[in-house]
Amino acid sequence: MTHRFAPAVLLALLLFAVPLSAHAQYGPQRNRAADGMVASADSVASQVGVDILKGGGNAVDAAVAVGLALAVTYPAAGNLGGGGFMLIRLADGRTNVLDYR
């Protein structure tokens, strides 16, 4: 009778082990940046945004570039025909929200 439960026990162990190991590898990261930061679903697209910022572009330039890069590197994340929202904090402290759906 104990052999009947062995697959269920093994499955339960695997289900608990996988998320723990994934969290250990990709857990919370506390990165700080003095001048700007770029985050996206793909590291290559994020690097495009970083390059735009380093080249003198602003955050909106970087966001648009990352969106275009994601259309190539990770099309499942969305694409050029989609829409979204953008929260922008201007240099003078004012904030704007864009709804481009």
**E-only strand ranges, the chain:** 85-89, 95-99
**E-only strand ranges, 2-90:** 85-89
Alpha-carbon distance of 18 to 34, in angstroms, equals 35
For the full predicted model, state whether its pTM sits above 0.85: no
Q: Which pLDDT score is estimated for 51?
A: 95
- Per-residue pLDDT of 69-91, as tens digits, reads 998 998 887 667 777 788 888 88
In terms of pLDDT, which residue wins out, 43 or 29?
43
Alpha-carbon distance of 54 to 56, in angstroms, equals 5
3-class secondary structure, 93: coil
